[in-house]
Amino acid sequence: MPDVQMDYDLMEDMARLFRDGGQMLEDLMRHMENVAGRLEDGALMGKGGDAMADAIRQRLNSRLAALQDKFNELGMDVYGALVDLRDGDTEAASRFKG
């Protein structure tokens, strides 16, 4: 079985990328909520405006929230794997030191 090599810096970058992506999605949801509010405040009145605001809140933001949850989960998973691998490497190396 071949040796497994990990680039811990790249794993940290990947975990950070997922966390940053989750934050960007949160920012996007907040901006879209502002758009929905503006539509309701008169930017697009009537059934069309109501339907658009509802679509933003009910469909778009709910899907963005699910994606944000997945990004956060993946960030934690990658970071957890990083910690486990580092701990394993440290423990294995300590067994070879006299």
Q: pLDDT tens digits, residue range 82-92?
A: 988 888 777 77
Query: Do the Cβ atoms of 28 and 64 come closer than 8 Å?
Result: yes
Which residues, 6+ apart, have CB-to-CB distance to 21 below 8 Å? 71
Query: Do the Cβ atoms of 56 and 32 come closer than 8 Å?
Result: yes
- What pLDDT sits at residue 98? 58
Cα distances from 49 to residues 28, 35, 62, 90, 91, in angstroms, run 20, 11, 19, 59, 61
**Type of residue at 32:** M
- Domain spans of the chain? 12-83
Comparing 39 with 6, the larger pLDDT belongs to 39
